[in-house]
A and B are shown apart, each in its own frame.
Chain A
Amino acid sequence: MAAEKPRNQTIGAVRRTFQPWADPDKKPLIRFENVVKRFGDFTAVDNVSLDIYEREFFALLGPSGCGKTTLMRMLAGFEEPTEGRLTLAGEDISGIPPYRRPVNMMFQSYALFPHMNVLDNIAFGLKQDKMPKADIAARVEEMLKLTKLEKFAKRKPHQLSGGQRQRVALARSLAKRPKVLLLDEPLGALDKKLREETQFELMDLQMDLGMTFLIVTHDQEEAMTVADRIAVMNHGVLMQVAPPAVIYEQPATRYVADFIGEVNLVEGKVISASGDETRLSSPITPHPLRVSQSLGLKPGEEACIAIRPEKLRISLDEPADTSENCFRGEIWDIGYLGDLSIYHVELECGQRIKVSQPNLSRVVQRPITWDDKVWVTFAPHAGVMLTR
């Protein structure tokens, strides 16, 4: 699919340097200011402050019921904040009904009008704006082309496949060229392959149209793939807002570290901290642990080291240096995924850690197998120290 269209040469340059959130002079397009939303006794959104910038692809990520959808629905106008302010391009939009807001939403269920064909579905929003007929026809044509739906213009939604319906929903929500496009779990109903393909299409589309996209998803891979920045939410609270790589490599809390990808959380106590290094002791290994990070912790304070499975090394032989950063254990379980293998290693204390290793070679002399005694090591910069 990608081969059909020559790559827009400017995309790389834009993507490399795009970080308006780092520029203090840049005005955000969307601004949540201390927004609270309560339903009866239940607080769905708890004091959220968030800035989203023009042309940003922003993802709200979290488990179901974390308030991400409520946050989005407030922007669309389907819910009003109980407290706080919500501004769009500097303008307070609270109280403005959904049909007067310059944002459009792509619904999780797609919400296509079943009694209208693809053409009329896409034209629906444009007709509300009393756009001249010829302009509507031209815009609909453009949208059909963009979403490769030309052949299906006269079909009713129930005559389309899931993927085609998803495209109609996307075309319909894009047709009005909204300032912000809201995507509520837009790819949830698609199968894995189509979903991955569509993720990249969405990214290109967003770049080509120069629009701001806000996506709500519970699929972390999806958020990591498409978004410039991700906001991880839990229980109505923003846990961390950062680009995907920062979220993954420098999670702010145990929750974020645990929610995104796989992680081993090793609880420990600070032995000594100096400059940009901290040494800790942990009940799960007799060897001290060292991380190249200093949070200004004093000896005796508790901290946790989060280490991703792929940043651990596993070997059958005793490492040359066992003075620090190593665990001894026994293989408890192996998950062979083809490109990599996941090893569950039971440490002497009984706790299990996960190690993943790429299967670099097709033939291995002595593969690690069940019940093997192994050594697991990691480099000081592989782990992240967390205090929250």
Chain B
Amino acid sequence: MAMAGEKGRGRYLVLAVPYLWLVALFLAPFLIVFKISLSQDAIAQPPYTPLLDLSDGWAGFTDYLSQLSFDNYAYVLDFSNEFIQAYGSSLIIASISTVLLLLVGYPIAYGMARAPRSMQPTLLMLVILPFWTSFLIRVYAWIGILSPEGLLNQGLMALGIINEPLELLNTDIAVYIGIVYSYLPFMVLPLYSALEKLDLTLLEAAADLGCPPTKAFWTITFPLSLPGVAAGALLCFIPAVGEFVIPDLLGGSNTLMIGKSLWTEFTVNRSWTVSSAVAVLLLLVLVVPIVIYQNVQQRELEAGK
């Protein structure tokens, strides 16, 4: 019995670590942000009101609660304030980027999974290698590549493919390039792990039953890699929606993304409260795909393999 008790305690300890982590670094900050989003802007330190003052006891607390409101949400959801458009545009850009990532990442992952066993660790390393350089520096490097007198335009002009420099930098195209480039490992790795697990005798069985290789890809390989596709797509889509650095550095003035709107609201307009409301709503928008992702994972676990 004593053994069982100790075992139970050990299990709680192990479980406590991730939960404490989430409470301290996710739930608590989120509640603070949520609280701020219900407050009003004020010229003060901190720049919002009301502040919770517990010296008045319970009365102070109820007084505090009565001053909270959802006004900031109404403001954000007001169509004329362009936040809705920014949310929509972010979702569209993230969706298109995810599709592009899938189109680029799938062949890479497939090639890696089919490469000789001995080469696969090296290939994996190469996929992860860009992480060794700062994300910011890599995005800055794209400015040098995409600018009118950048490497890409110079190269294309030297080859005689174009006469005039292409307008790439500060366009949505640059944003897509930036997102696809930066997020590619997050797409490739789950796809690779799904494809690498695929039992190749299944393809032999398909061929044996009269199914040519291309068709076998679509009837066997692709459906069996769907968990990887889902994982990769969500791993890319979710952070891409809130992406700020890439649209800020590579996008144009009319590239509308919610991360940029939030940043503007926070730093230029100095509105902690509205930017908090934007953040909370962004989280709500993303909860849907996160829940889908967890469902997919759950199903994969239950499938037993």
Contacts and interface: CB of A to CB of B under 8 A. Distances in A.
Nearest to A172: B209
Nearest to B202: A111
Interface in B182-223: 199, 201-202, 204-212, 215, 220, 223
A114 interface: yes
B224 interface: yes
A327 B304 CA distance: 60
Interface string B211-247: 1100100001001100000000000000000000000
Give the bracket for the number of chain A residues in contact with chain B. Answer: 20 to 34
A107 B201 contact: yes
Given A113-B220, A115-B223, A98 B202 contact: no
B209 A109 contact: no
B117 interface: no
Nearest to B303: A158
A344 interface: no
B209 A104 contact: yes
A13 B272 CA distance: 94
B11 interface: no
B165 to A, nearest CB: 49
A111 B205 contact: yes
Smallest CB-CB A-B distances: 3 pairs: A125-B209, A128-B210, A111-B205
B209 A128 contact: yes
A98 B305 contact: no
A257 to B, nearest CB: 35
A98 B208 contact: yes
5 contacts: A107-B201, A114-B202, A114-B224, A114-B305, A115-B223
Contacts of B206: 99, 113, 124
A176 B210 contact: yes
Choose among B201, B208, B215, B304 the residue with the greatest number of A CB atoms under 10 Å from its CB: B208
Contacts of A97: 207, 212
A104 B303 contact: no
Contacts of A107: 201, 204-205
Interface of A: 76-78, 97-100, 103-105, 107, 109, 111-115, 124-125, 128-129, 158, 172-173, 176
Given A109-B199, A114-B305, A99 B212 contact: yes
Nearest to B226: A115
Contacts of A111: 199, 201-202, 204-205
Contacts of A78: 204, 207
B202 to A, nearest CB: 5
Given A111-B204, A172-B209, 13 more contacts: A97-B212, A98-B207, A98-B208, A99-B211, A99-B212, A104-B208, A105-B208, A111-B205, A113-B202, A114-B224, A124-B206, A128-B209, A158-B305
Interface string B84-95: 000000000000
Nearest to B200: A111
B211 A158 contact: no
A125 B204 CA distance: 12
B211 A128 contact: yes
Interface in B151-188: none
Contacts of A129: 210
B303 to A, nearest CB: 7
Given A114-B305, A158-B304, A125 B201 contact: no
Choose among A103, A107, A112, A114 the residue with the greatest number of B CB atoms under 10 Å from its CB: A114
B201 A99 contact: no
A78 B208 CA distance: 9
Contact of B211 (A103, A112, A124, A172): A124
A98 B204 CA distance: 8
Contacts of A128: 209-211, 215
Given A99-B212, A158-B304, A113 B205 contact: yes
A105 B205 CA distance: 8
Contacts of B207: 77-78, 97-99
A216 to B, nearest CB: 14
A78 B206 CA distance: 12
B228 to A, nearest CB: 13
B118 to A, nearest CB: 15
A77 B210 CA distance: 11
Contacts of A77: 207-208
Contacts of A100: 210
A196 B1 CA distance: 47
B223 to A, nearest CB: 5
B209 to A, nearest CB: 3
A99 B204 contact: no
B305 A109 contact: no
B210 to A, nearest CB: 4
Contacts of B204: 76, 78, 98, 105, 107, 111
A162 to B, nearest CB: 14
Nearest to B207: A98
Choose among A78, A99, A124 the residue with the greatest number of B CB atoms under 10 Å from its CB: A99
A214 to B, nearest CB: 13
Interface string B271-305: 00000000000000000000000000000000111
Contacts of B304: 158
Choose among B204, B212, B224 the residue with the greatest number of A CB atoms under 10 Å from its CB: B204
Nearest to A73: B204
Contacts of B199: 109, 111
A124 B223 CA distance: 15
A115 B224 contact: yes
Interface string B74-106: 000000000000000000000000000000000
Contact of B208 (A76, A112, A113, A114): A76
A175 B304 CA distance: 28
Nearest to A100: B210
A78 B200 CA distance: 12
Nearest to B304: A158
B201 A109 contact: yes
A287 to B, nearest CB: 56
A78 B211 CA distance: 13
Contacts of A158: 303-305
B18 to A, nearest CB: 29
Contacts of A98: 204, 207-208
Contacts of B210: 99-100, 125, 128-129, 176
Nearest to A175: B209
A76 B224 CA distance: 24
